[in-house]
Amino acid sequence: MADNNPNKSANVVWHHATVTRERRETMNGHRSVILWFTGLSGAGKSTLAHAVEEALHCMGCRTIVLDGDNVRHGLCADLGFSNEDRVENIRRIGELSKLFVETGVIVLTAFISPFRSDRERVRSLVPHGDFLEIYCNSPLEVCEQRDVKGMYKRARAGEIKDFTGISSPYEAPDNPELAVETSVLSIEESVSMVMRLLRERGIVKD
């Protein structure tokens, strides 16, 4: 019979802290949430996530950006880019994001996260309304034109396998909390859209 329990130890018990998420949020003066920026490589996820963090930081908010490339230097350094490794990569980031939400922090994640099922799995980890999917929507041709890392060129040449948008699929969100047309909007306009969403959801106040 298959073992569906992800815990390899049978003697693991969750310890409930006396300093709760609610107490931390009260101290911080804002709610915690996961802002999940998804889109093709070159769609502007990291640029937008860091710009939003800058705006939030200037308001006195507690934040952290989890960036796809940075995380693969440490937490996920043992993973490649096969479908299986991509699933595990997002699973780890989802669990890490959940922990940060419990600390009262606004978590901004910038990951291609190409599979809908993986993003929905992260959404299911936290209470309703604590996961805001932000789709950085940019056509493939625009992303290829940007290609500051030269990744698309290498993928087209067959030097990189399982590259999203070329040899591996990207499943765009069906109903994201916010879709930002990053190929036509300025970074200032894009940040304003995200900040408006946060105010509407009561995450931050003016």
Structure tokens at 197: 């969403």
Distance CA 82, CA 139 (A): 23
Q: Which of 32, 113, 168, 190 is catalytic?
A: 113
Q: With contact defined as beta carbons under 8 Å apart, do 163 and 149 qualify?
A: no
* Burial zone of 101 (CB within 10 Å; 0-12 exposed, 13-18 middle, 19+ buried): buried
Task: Tell me whether residue 113 is one of the annotated catalytic residues.
Answer: yes
Structure tokens at 22: 């609610």
* Encoded amino acid at 112, one letter: I
Question: For residue 73, what is the DSSP state?
Answer: T
Q: Which residues are marked as active site?
A: 113
